[in-house]
Structure 1
Amino acid sequence: MSFSSRNRNLLILHGTVLVWGFTGILGSVISIPSVPLVWYRVLIAFITLYVYFKVTKTSLSLPRKALLKLFLTGALVGGHWILFFQSIKSSTISVGLVCLSSLTLFTAILEPLIGRKKISPLEIFTGVFIICGIVMIFKFESQYSLGISLGLGSAFLASLFSIINSKQVQKHPASLISFYEMIGAFIWLSLYMSLTGGFDSGMKLQTSDFVYLMILGTICTSLAYVAGVAVMRELSAFRVALITNLEPVYGILLAFIFYGSREHMTLGFYGGAAMIMGAIFMYPYLRNKIEKRKLEKTLPLV
C-alpha cells in the first residue's frame, strides 16, 4: 500500500510536535526571563532561515500585502511564546504544556468565525471536554493559577496565528511565511523591550544558555516551525491544532525522563489531563463515524 501524501504530512506533524514538546524543557533550563528568551529565539531563527535561503538561492519576494500580514502575525507568534515560557517558569513544564491543549477549543470557535463557516457541533463538543479537563486542573493545582492563565493565553494566540497561517500557506511557501513572521516577532519584541528598558543585564547569557538557545532557535523553531506550517497545505487548522495537542503528552514524557519526581503532580491534574487527551483521541473516531453516516445517507438505493 502506497504511503500517501496525507499520511506523510501527518507523520511530519507528529515529529514536529515531538520537537515542540522539547521546547518546554529548554525554556525551563534557560536562565534568562521569558521576553529576552523569545527575542534570542526569533533572532536565531530568522538568521538561520536567511542563511538557508542564501545557500539555496531562494527568492525572498512576496506581495506587500502578504508581507504586512505576516509582519503583524509575528506579534501573535512572539506573544504566544512569551506567555508559554512564562507559564512554565510560573508553574511547571507539565502545567504549561497541558494548558496548550485549549488550542483545540479556541480553534473550534475562532476558525468558523474568521472563515465565516458553520460551527461544527463535534468540535464544540470536543472543546467542552477540554474545558472540563482544564477546570479540573485549576481546582487541584490552584497554586499554579498564574501559570495556567498564562498557558491559556498562549493557546489563544497560537490558535489565531494557526488559522491565519492555514490561509497563507495556500498562497506562499511555508519557509517564507516562517521567515517573515520571525522577523515580525523580532521587530515587535525589540520595540517592546526598547520602550520597557528590556535591554539590560537580564539579556546576559551563560554558556549553557547559548547552547540551549541555539538548539531552540534552529531545530525547535526554524526547522519545526517551517514543517508545522507546510503540512497545513493538506491538513485543516483544526486537525493541526488537534495533533498539536499531543505536545503535552510528548513534553510531559520528556519532562519525566529529564526531571523525574520534580514533575510529579496531583491525581486531579492527571484526571484533567486524561479528559483533555481523551477528547483529542475521540475526535477523529467520532468524526469518521459521522462522515461515514452522512455518506451512507447520500448513496443511492440499488
Structure 2
Amino acid sequence: MQNDKLKNYLHLHLLVFIAGFTAIIGKLITLNAVSLVWYRMLIATVLMFIYIKIAKINISISRKAFFKLAIAGIIIALHWITFFGSIQVSNASIALAMFSTGAFFASFIEPIIYKRKIITYEIVFGLIVVLGIYLIVRSEFRYIEGMILGVISAFLSSLFAVLNGKFLEEHSATKISFYEFISGVFFITLYIAMFGDGFNANHFNVSLSDWFWLFVLASVCTAYAFIASVHVMRFISPYTVVLTYNLEPIYGIGLALILFPESETMSSSFYIGAFIILGVVLSNGILKNWKNFKKNKIKETN
C-alpha cells in the first residue's frame, strides 16, 4: 500500500515536470503562438476523441452546458496563446514567473464565482506578489511585453481553473475538456480566417522538428497529462495535487537555465522576485490546508 502511494506521488511529480517542460517546448517550436495553439488543441482533441471511443465514455450534453464549456474553451485557448506569446517575445523564465501570479488572481476570482467573502490574508499575499512582480519588472524591463502577456495568461488560467471547478460539479473531466478543446479549435480557426493571414501555405508549412514537438506537446503534455492527472487524484488528495503543481515554474525555470543558459540566465533581482511569488503561492496552499485540517478536527470532536 505504501509502495503504491509512493508510485502515485512520483507520478504526480512527473506530471508537474511535464507541465514545466511545456514552456521549453514553446521555445523550441518556431510557429507563431496562434498557430502553435491551434495545432496543439486540434491534435489533442483528436487524441482525446480516440480515448473517449476506446473507453466508451458518454459525452452527451445539453445546449446550455455546451455554451458554458465553449466560453471556457475560448478562455483556455487565449491563455495558451498569451503564454506561448510571452515566451516568444521574452523567454520561458519570464513567462513562468508571471504564470505564478495565477494564485493571486484566483483569490479574487474564486469569491466572485463561488459567492464567498474575500479572505484577508489572501489580500496580504496579493500585495506581496505585487512586490515580487515589481522586482522582476525593475530588473528585466526589456521583457515588459512578455511580462504583460504572462500576467494576462495567468489571469485567464485562474479564471479557467475556477470555472472548471464549477463544471466538475455536474460533468466528468473528460467531457469538459473534450468540448472545451473543440470550442478552442473552432474559435482560433475563426480568428485565423477573419483576422490572421488565413489558412495559406505558410500556415501548413511546418518543419519536421515542429511536427515532432507539436505531437509531444499535444500528446504527452496535454492529452496524457490530463488523463493521468485525473487518475492520480483518485489516490492523492486534490489539495496535494494543486500544491504540487505550484512547483511547475520551479521545474520550468530550472530546465530553461540548463537547456538555454545564454538566453535564460536572469538577474539576481528576477530570481528574488520569482521566489517571493512562488513562496506566497506555496504559503497560501499550506495555510488553506491547515485551516481545513483544523475545521475537520473540530467537526470530529463535536
Fold shared per TM-score above 0.5: yes
Partner of 1:97: 96
The 5-angstrom pairing of residues 200-239 of structure 1 reads 200=200, 201-228=202-229, 235=238
| Consecutive unaligned residues in structure 2, runs of 5 or more | none
Per-residue CA deviation, residues 165-200 of structure 1 (Å, 9 max, x unaligned), is 111122212111111111010000001111023323
The 5-angstrom pairing of residues 273-292 of structure 1 reads 273-288=274-289, 290=291
- Pairing 1:161–2:164 present: no
State whether residues 255 and 263 of structure 1, in contact with CA within 8 Å, keep that contact through their aligned partners in structure 2: yes
Per-residue CA deviation, residues 74-119 of structure 1 (Å, 9 max, x unaligned), is 1001000000000000101100011001100010110011110121
Residue 32 of structure 1 aligns to a residue whose secondary structure is: coil
Moved more, 274-283 or 66-75: 274-283
Separation of aligned partners in 1, 2:230 and 2:296: 31
Separation of aligned partners in 1, 2:152 and 2:233: 23
Question: Which AA in structure 2 matches 1:235?
Answer: P
State whether residues 101 and 130 of structure 1, in contact with CA within 8 Å, keep that contact through their aligned partners in structure 2: no
State whether residues 178 and 222 of structure 1, in contact with CA within 8 Å, keep that contact through their aligned partners in structure 2: no
State whether residues 106 and 159 of structure 1, in contact with CA within 8 Å, keep that contact through their aligned partners in structure 2: yes
Question: Which AA in structure 1 matches 2:264?
Answer: E
Separation of aligned partners in 2, 1:235 and 1:293: 17
Residue 253 of structure 2 aligns to a residue whose secondary structure is: helix
Residue 104 of structure 1 aligns to a residue whose secondary structure is: helix
Residue 250 of structure 2 aligns to a residue whose secondary structure is: helix
- The 1:293/1:50 distance shift into structure 2, 3 A limit, reads closer
State whether residues 243 and 285 of structure 2, in contact with CA within 8 Å, keep that contact through their aligned partners in structure 1: no
The 5-angstrom pairing of residues 36-115 of structure 1 reads 36-115=35-114
- The 1:59/1:290 distance shift into structure 2, 3 A limit, reads closer
Question: Which AA in structure 1 matches 2:260?
Answer: Y
Separation of aligned partners in 1, 2:95 and 2:120: 27
Question: 1:292 deviation in Å?
Answer: 6.3
| Consecutive unaligned residues in structure 1, runs of 5 or more | none
Separation of aligned partners in 1, 2:126 and 2:192: 35
- Number of residues of Structure 1 aligned to a counterpart in Structure 2: 298
Separation of aligned partners in 2, 1:11 and 1:182: 28
Question: 1:261 deviation in Å?
Answer: 3.4
Separation of aligned partners in 2, 1:3 and 1:122: 37
Question: Which AA in structure 2 matches 1:101?
Answer: S
Residue 119 of structure 1 aligns to a residue whose secondary structure is: coil
- The 1:295/1:35 distance shift into structure 2, 3 A limit, reads closer
Residue 180 of structure 1 aligns to a residue whose secondary structure is: helix
TM-score (norm: length of structure 1): 0.88
Per-residue CA deviation, residues 43-66 of structure 1 (Å, 9 max, x unaligned), is 000000111112222222123222
TM-score (norm: length of structure 2): 0.88
Per-residue CA deviation, residues 265-299 of structure 1 (Å, 9 max, x unaligned), is 00110110121122123234434555567788899
Root-mean-square deviation over aligned CA pairs: 2.8
Partner of 1:270: 271
Question: 1:241 deviation in Å?
Answer: 5.9
